[in-house]
Amino acid sequence: MQQFLLEMFAAAVESVSAAATVPRYLPPAASGRTIVIGAGKAAASMAQAVESHWSGSLSGRVVTRYGHAVPCESIAVVEAAHPVPDTAGQEAAEQILQTVSKLNQDDLVICLISGGGSSLLALPAPGITLKDKQSINTALLKSGATIAEMNCVRKHLSAIKGGKLAAACAPAQVVTLIISDVPGDDPAVVASGPTVPDATTLADAQGVLSRYGIDVAENVRRHLASAENETPKPGDPIFKRASTHIIATAQQSLAAAVQFVEQAGYSAVVLGDLEGESREVAIVHAGIARQVAKYGQPAAAPCVILSGGETTVTVRGNGRGGRNAEFALSLAIALQAQSDVYAIACDTDGIDGTEDNAGCIVTPDSLSRARDAGMNPAEYLENNDGYGFFSALDALVVTGPTRTNVNDFRAIVITKAAGD
C-alpha cells in the first residue's frame, strides 16, 4: 500500500512537469529577439523545456531555488534562497531587469513563472532593504497567513513583482507561462504576479500586516502609506501586449491521480483545491475517511480521497516540519488507528517547507509504533514537529527536488469497509 501511494504521487507530479506542459504553450517566434526570463522552483526545468522545443535563437536568465537547477545551453540559470530571500535572489532580480531593458516592439519575452518566485525575485522597492523583506517574510511564514495575503504584502514592497516586470519589458510582447501553486490559480498570486496586473492595494497590504500583528519598521510604514508606491492595476496600458497562460495546476495533478487509482480498481473522491490550518484540514479529511469506511459515504470502499491546495501552519512550537508533516500527524491522531486506512501528504516540489522531505506516509499502525517508541503524538503536534515524528517512524517521503510545483498533494486510501 505504501508503494501504491508513492506511485500515485509520482504520477500526479509527472502530469504537471515542465516537460509535459510547457511545449504546447510556446508562442510563435517574433521578428526580433526572443528573451526568456523566469523565477520559481520550476523555472530551470521550464527553461530547459523551452530550449528543447524552440527552433530559433534564445537568450535570457531564470532564477530557481538552491538545488533545483538543471543545465541549459542559451538561458542562464542562477539559484537563490527560498522561502526567505537572500542577496543572490536580489542580484538575480536586478540581472533579469537588465536583461529586458532596451527591448523594442519586435522582441518577444517568454516569462516562466512558478511557485517560489516571490522570494527568488527579491528586489526591494526604493527605501526598503533586503533585511526588511527577510524579517517580514519570516514573520508572515509563521503567522498562518494565506499565500494570497503574503503575496499582497510582497508585491507592495517589491520593485519587480505585482506587474512591475511587465512594465520593464515594454514595448516588447510578453507571454507568461505559469505553473500554478496557489488555490484558485490566480496568476496575480503565483510568485506575486510579476507580469500581471495587481488588483490588491497598499491598504490591503497594511491590513494583512495589522491582521497578523506583524510589526514593521518606520520606513516600511512610510512606503505602504505613499500612493506613489501603488502597483499597476488592471487596464493599465503596460499590459496591452502581455498575455498569460496557466499551464499546470493542482487540478491536473489530482486528475492524474484519479486516473491512476481508477485503473487500480478504486473509486475517487476529489475534495479540490483547499486552504486552511493544516491540522484542522486533516481533522476534516479524517472524518470523511471514517464515513467512507463505516457508511460507504460519499463513496464506498475501496476508495481514495484526494485533495490539493496550500494549507498553512501557525507556528507555536520549535519542532521541524512543513505543512504536509503537520497535516499527516494531525490526520494520524484524528484517525485513531482506523484499520485499512493509509495516507500520503506531500508537496509536489519535493520539499515540505524547508526540510529535506516531500512529506510523509500514515499507516494504521503509525500511532501504536510511536507509542511503543515512547513518543506522544499530541506533544509532537503541539511542538509543530511532524518531521521529527515521522522521521522516527521511517515514514518520510524523500524524493529530492521535482522541479515542478503545484503545491500540496494529499491522498487517503480506504482499502475496505469496516467489518469486511
Nearest alpha-carbon partner for 181 in 371, 366, 349: 349
234 upstream amide cis, omega within 30 of 0: no
pTM: 0.93
pLDDT digits (tens, 9 = 90+) for 106-121: 999 999 999 999 999 9
- The predicted model gives 177-204 an average pLDDT of 97
Domain boundaries, the chain: 18-248, 251-414
pLDDT at 86 over 70: yes
Nearest CA among 360, 370, 285, 377 for reference residue 325: 360
Q: From residue 123, how far is each of 129, 227, 392 by CA, in Å?
A: 9, 19, 40
Overall average pLDDT of the 230-254 stretch: 97
Q: Is the pLDDT of residue 259 over 80?
A: yes
**Average pLDDT score, the chain:** 96
How many residues in the chain?
420
Considering the segment(s) 251-414 as one domain, its CATH architecture is 3-Layer(aba) Sandwich (3.40)
Q: State the Cα–Cα distance between residues 352 and 357, nearest whole angstrom.
A: 6
For residue 418, pLDDT over 90 is answered with: no
The amino acid sitting at 86 is D
Residues in contact with 187: Cβ distance below 8 Å, sequence separation at least 6, in sequence order: 113, 176, 178, 180, 193, 196, 244, 246
Residue-level pLDDT at 231? 98
pLDDT exceeds 90 at position 417: no
277-288 tens-digit pLDDT: 999 999 999 999
DSSP string, 210-268: HHTT----HHHHHHHH-GGGPPP-TT-GGGTTEEEEEEE-HHHHHHHHHHHHHHTT-EE
**C-alpha grid cell for residue 247?**
499551464
Question: Which pLDDT does position 419 carry in this prediction?
Answer: 67
Average pLDDT over residues 218-242: 97
Write the CA distances from 152 to 203, 224, 261, 323, integer angstroms.
10, 12, 37, 21
For the chain, give the percent of residues with pLDDT over 90. 97
Q: How confident is the model at residue 321 (pLDDT cuts 50, 70, 90)?
A: confident
Q: Is the pLDDT of residue 420 over 90?
A: no
> How far is Cα 14 from Cα 155, in angstroms, rounded to an integer?
31
List residues bridging with 77 in a β-sheet.
62
Percent residues over pLDDT 70 in the chain: 100
Distance CA 160, CA 87 (A): 15
Give the per-residue pLDDT at 353: 87
Q: What residues contact 104, with CB distance under 8 A and at least 6 apart?
A: 32, 171, 172
The CATH superfamily label for domain 18-248 reads Glycerate kinase, MOFRL-like N-terminal domain (3.40.50.10180)
Q: Is it the case that residue 320 has pLDDT exceeding 70?
A: yes
Q: Show Cβ contacts of residue 77 under 8 Å, excluding neighbours closer than 6 positions.
A: 43, 44, 47, 61, 62, 63, 64, 69, 70, 71
Q: What is the mean pLDDT of residues 341-359?
A: 96
Please indicate whether the domains covering 18-248 and 251-414 agree at the CATH topology level: no
Q: How far apart are CA 416 and CA 300, in angstroms?
A: 8
- pLDDT at 22 > cutoff 80: yes
Average pLDDT over residues 254-280: 97
Query: Is the Cβ–Cβ distance between 363 and 419 less than 8 Å?
Result: no
The per-type count for the chain, helices as H runs and strands as E runs, is 16, 12
The mean pLDDT of 217-239, rounded to a whole number, is 97
DSSP conformational letter for 40: S
In this prediction, residues 192-221 reach a mean pLDDT of 97
